[in-house]
Amino acid sequence: MKKGFYILLMMLTGSHLLFAQKFEGLAQTPPMGFNTWNTFQTNINEAMLKNMVDAYVSSGMRDAGYQYFVLDDGWMAMERDHDGNLVADPKKFPYGMKAFADYVHAKGLKFGIYNCAGTLTCAGYPGTRGYEYQDARLYASWGVDYLKYDWCYTDSINAREAYTTMSKAIKAAGRPMVFSLCEWGNHQPWLWAKNVGHLWRTTGDIFAGFDGKKSNGSWSALGVTTILDMQGKIRQYAGPSHWNDPDMLEVGNGMSYDEDKAHFSLWCMLAAPLMAGNDLRKMTAQTRGILTNKAVIAVDQDALGIEGFKYTELNGVDVWVKPLVNGDIAVCFLNRSATASQAINYDWKTHAINDTISGMHIDFGTVAYTFTDLWNKGRSGNTNAIFKTTLSAHEVVMLKLSKK
Ligand code: GLA
pLDDT in tens, the chain (404 residues): 455 555 555 555 444 444 569 999 999 999 999 999 999 999 999 999 999 999 999 999 999 999 999 999 999 999 999 999 999 999 999 999 999 999 999 999 999 999 999 999 999 999 999 999 999 999 999 999 999 999 999 999 999 999 999 999 999 999 999 999 999 999 999 999 999 999 999 999 999 999 999 999 999 999 999 999 999 899 999 999 999 999 999 999 999 999 999 999 999 999 999 999 999 999 999 999 999 999 999 999 999 999 999 999 999 999 999 999 999 999 999 999 999 999 999 999 999 999 999 999 999 999 999 999 999 999 999 999 999 999 999 999 999 999 97
Question: From atom 6 of ligand 1, which residue's Cα is the shortest distance away?
Answer: 73
Residue 380 forms beta bridges with which residues?
A: 372
Q: Is 110 left (phi over 0), alpha (psi -120 to 50) or beta?
A: beta
Question: From atom 11 of ligand 1, which residue's Cα is the shortest distance away?
Answer: 122
Distance 124 CA to ligand 1 centre (A): 11
70, 125, 205, 227: residue to mutate for ligand 1 pocket, most atoms within 8 A of CB: 205
CB 97 within 8 A of CB 75: yes
Distance 22 CA to ligand 1 centre (A): 23
Question: From atom 12 of ligand 1, which residue's Cα is the shortest distance away?
Answer: 122
pLDDT at residue number 11: 52
Q: Is 205 in the active site?
A: yes
Q: Choose the catalytic residue: 145, 205, 279, 302.
A: 205
Strands 32-35 and 68-70: parallel
- Separation of alpha carbons 296 and 294, rounded Å: 5
| Ligand 1 first shell, C-beta below 6 A | 37, 72-73, 121-123, 150, 182, 205
Phi and psi torsions of 341, nearest 5°: -80, 160
pLDDT at residue number 13: 47
Distance 72 CA to ligand 1 centre (A): 8
Closest CA to 240 of 36, 65, 22: 22
Residue 111 forms beta bridges with which residues?
A: 69
pLDDT at residue number 37: 98
Question: From atom 1 of ligand 1, which residue's Cα is the shortest distance away?
Answer: 122
Q: Choose the catalytic residue: 89, 135, 145, 150.
A: 150
Phi and psi torsions of 273, nearest 5°: -55, 140
Strands 387-391 and 380-382: unpaired
- Separation of alpha carbons 218 and 187, rounded Å: 19
pLDDT at residue number 1: 43
217 DSSP assignment = S
pLDDT at residue number 109: 99
Distance 184 CA to ligand 1 centre (A): 9
Closest CA to 68 of 146, 149, 141: 146
Distance 127 CA to ligand 1 centre (A): 13
Strands 342-346 and 353-355: unpaired
